[in-house]
Structure 1
């Protein structure tokens, strides 16, 4: 019986641009999770991990900064904060929410820190700044914040607090000899004190006067 001709291999379906970009972002996030944000991934490594021709990754993302910004956007879009709004909360509750969010998304924050250290001029830490400004105006109008409160500076300094804490907390816990859970509990308590101090209305001139001797 004559040999049957070998069946031709099935053609692999070409991925769409959207599918290719998604695969590349998944590969980048996998490498960052595996090797750490400071390991220094390259576009060629990401393309190889995704099974994509390395020329395509340059076509889609251009450089490593663009790829990392896109990966950050992917994490934000798929996170709980991206799925629901926290803008209806008060100033204090919004900042508490962001601290919790930061502790749950340290990989994202490390990627942002990597871009900051790399001097990326296009990184945005506050992509919804207009909504932030609107919320701060509402806080002042409702009395949540004093009328003369520097809302943007409050926003910036509380952000610096939760971003820095989330990135360095493991090292801090090790040096202080504390379990992470205990450090987090104590850090949240201090953070609440900071927030209470920010929303407290300033004292009047009479309240600032020192008490008379003997009182």
Structure 2
């Protein structure tokens, strides 16, 4: 088939159909920005549609319910953060641990703010907690895997959660206060501690 012809006799190119996956991701990104700015209570179909520059009906078509939109946005935010954090890069070198953390905060502050908003909201809405916990387990497991490559002894839940809590605290502080250089300094100290544990697990 040829392109349609307008009344002037010139060919008009056909409108391309938006890729379903790309359109969905764009809507999830918009949902993340809405929540990051105004909290979960501001998340509505209309707010997401306005943020994304699409119709209200398109958001309904993609997600069907507000709860589905929330769940998919949580999954999208956490997996996007994991992909950009360099937490699980697998080199086995303390010097490479969490190398992408400061860049992750600078390049995607909305993703980080969104997750903190959801964590707080889960205290008020317990129905969010199971889904949020299952996805946070991906963070915990990525941290444990990387530590297991660095340290000669088995890494228990307490150690992996301690290191992850330190990283999450650094993300929160950089998000709120800026001060990337403080994050870098703290990571340097953390890597030195891990290097010491790798060389002498007993800490003696």
Same fold, judged at TM 0.5 (above): yes
- CA offsets, 1:47-98, max 9 Å, x none? 233344424423423324224225415734874749xx711333x3453325
Which of structures 1 and 2 has the bigger CA Rg?
1
**Counterpart among 122, 127, 136 of residue 125 in structure 1:** 136
Structure 1 equivalent of residue 118 of structure 2:
115
For 1:150, what is the secondary structure of its paired residue?
A: coil
Give the paired residue count. Answer: 182
Distance in 2, matches of 1:69 and 1:136, equals: 25
Q: Specify which structure has the higher proportion of helix.
A: 2
Change (3 A) 1:155 1:136: same
Unaligned runs of 5+ in 1: 1-5, 174-179, 208-215
Change (3 A) 1:127 1:44: same
Structure 1 equivalent of residue 27 of structure 2:
24
Structure 1 equivalent of residue 163 of structure 2:
158
Unaligned runs of 5+ in 2: 1-5, 123-127
Q: Quick check: 1:43–1:57 contact (8 Å CA) kept in 2?
A: yes
| TM-fit CA distance, 1:18 | 2.8
* RMSD, matched Cα: 4.1
Q: Quick check: 1:98–1:162 contact (8 Å CA) kept in 2?
A: no
Structure 2 equivalent of residue 96 of structure 1:
98
Q: Quick check: 1:109–1:163 contact (8 Å CA) kept in 2?
A: no
Q: Quick check: 1:27–1:49 contact (8 Å CA) kept in 2?
A: yes
For 1:97, what is the secondary structure of its paired residue?
A: coil
Distance in 2, matches of 1:24 and 1:59, equals: 11
| TM-fit CA distance, 1:161 | 0.9
Structure 1 equivalent of residue 194 of structure 2:
195
